[in-house]
Amino acid sequence: MTMKTGLKKAPKIRIGVLYGGRSGEHDVSLCSAASVFSALDRNKYTVTAIGLDRDGRWYVQENPEIISDKDFGRKMALKKKGTWLVNHFEQKNKLHLYDIKNKNKEVIVDVVIPVLHGTFGEDGALQGLLELAMVPYVGADVIGSAVGMDKDIAKRLLKEKGIPVVPSVTVNKQHWRENANAKNIMKDALAKLGLPLFVKPVCTGSSVGVKKVKKKESLAAAMNFAFQFDNRVMIEKAIDCREIECAVLGNEKPAGSVLGEIIPQHEFYSYEAKYIDPNGAALKIPAQINKSLSDKIRKIAVEGYMALGCTSMARVDFFLDKKTGKFYLNEINTLPGFTSISMYPKLWEATGLKYGDLLDKLIELALDRHEKKLEIKTEGI
């Protein structure tokens, strides 16, 4: 009689891909989710798609469907079926979801991949929920997410580290609403920054709410437009520049990818240029920059990433002044676009890490960070 021997096969890691959400970047998220969901290795993972509608309700997708879209090419469908409860009190290093109208049908997730861009997905709000649930998740933690999303706070921290940022002024909505203040704000901003200017909400991404101002008469309208998306607005000096990006990956010892360049075909890299117009911008990887400058920008990308307390991943965006050759760190995006043609995965592919392997690495980093957090004492001695 022959005895069968061998090790028991390890169970697959259960991945939950979160997408959609209460954000102006909801549709972008559906597009990123389609790519992430498709690329995860089913030999390693059991994958569950979890859609968040525009009101913030969660829906487990029983039969996930990727559909075509006239603007975004393809996106993950979001079917509102069931009434799902997110149980963050279970705290067993897993996320538990129940359909309370279907005999408490339960779905359990070991690791969450949030593919939610912008407000309530990228700003620390979702990350706080996942921390309460004690579930591993991909991307920056609460602090890194919140700081990375807040352009004003991020600039202050970067400046404190000696990292160059574009000159700007931040305005509070309540202060702006008082007419006398509004006039003084515009006068002071124009005197300090000159024209042209960019006006942008402090806490949005994907260029939502952003306007370029060339004439002082247009500044008030741009401010009022931006205040629709946030209670604080940044007025920023416009730089005649090349737009350079670096993908950073890692926890305690992050590394930067090769650099890429965005070449907008519009006046600037607007929401339409990024997502709607298929010819809105060209991506050049690697960027045509001499090695010395490239190495310096990559080094500053990692330093900026660490200055903001980022972990897991971020795309670090720079402006390279065409006239002076000086560069500025513009933004750090902690949940960048993640379609197969997005800059973040393409930069890593050019550096030698394929899309699927990049997802594996991000899951590994999420688990590693989670294990280290579990070692932290939560009770007094």
Q: Domains plus CATH for the chain?
A: 13-137 (3.40.50.20), 148-164+240-372 (3.30.470.20), 168-237 (3.30.1490.20)
* pLDDT for position 205: 67
Residue 270 pLDDT > 60: no
What is the pLDDT confidence band of residue 209, given thresholds at 50, 70 and 90?
A: confident
CB-CB neighbours of 315 under 10 Å:
25
Backbone CA torsion sign across 291, 296, 301, 303:
positive
Greater confidence (271 vs 13) lies with 13
Q: What angle do CA 40, 41, 45 make, to 5 degrees?
A: 90
**Residue % of the chain over a pLDDT of 90:** 74
Integer Cα distance of 257 and 350 in angstroms? 8
**Residue % of the chain over a pLDDT of 70:** 91
Once rounded to an integer, what is the mean pLDDT over residues 177-199?
Answer: 89
Residue 264 pLDDT > 70: yes
Once rounded to an integer, what is the mean pLDDT over residues 213-223?
Answer: 95
Structure tokens at 177: 């609403």
What is the pLDDT confidence band of residue 8, given thresholds at 50, 70 and 90?
A: low
Specify whether the CB–CB gap between 168 and 234 falls below 8 A.
yes
CB-CB neighbours of 160 under 10 Å:
9
Q: What is the pLDDT of residues 61-107, one digit of tens each?
A: 999 999 988 776 789 999 999 999 988 777 678 999 999 988 778 99
Taking alpha carbons only, the member of 113, 109, 78, 83 closest to residue 96 is: 109
Residue 277 pLDDT > 50: no
Structure tokens at 140: 């920056």
Q: What is the pLDDT of residues 103-137, one digit of tens each?
A: 778 999 999 999 998 888 999 999 999 998 899 99
Residue 279 pLDDT > 70: no
CB-CB neighbours of 187 under 10 Å:
12
User: Please, which residues bridge with residue 68 across strands?
Assistant: 74
Integer Cα distance of 162 and 68 in angstroms? 46
DSSP 8-state secondary structure symbol assigned to residue 238: -
Residue type, 333: N
* pLDDT for position 244: 98
Greater confidence (102 vs 304) lies with 304
Structure tokens at 277: 């117009």
Give the H/E segment covering residue 213: strand 211-213
Structure tokens at 15: 């991945």
Integer Cα distance of 246 and 316 in angstroms? 5
Integer Cα distance of 353 and 356 in angstroms? 8
Once rounded to an integer, what is the mean pLDDT over residues 177-196?
Answer: 88
pTM of the model: 0.90
The alpha-helical segments, DSSP class H, found in the chain are 26-39, 125-133, 142-149, 151-160, 173-177, 179-193, 219-226, 271, 291-307, 343-351, 355-374
Once rounded to an integer, what is the mean pLDDT over residues 161-188?
Answer: 90
* pLDDT for position 268: 53
* pLDDT for position 87: 80
Q: What angle do CA 86, 25, 221 make, to 5 degrees?
A: 130
Integer Cα distance of 54 and 275 in angstroms? 19
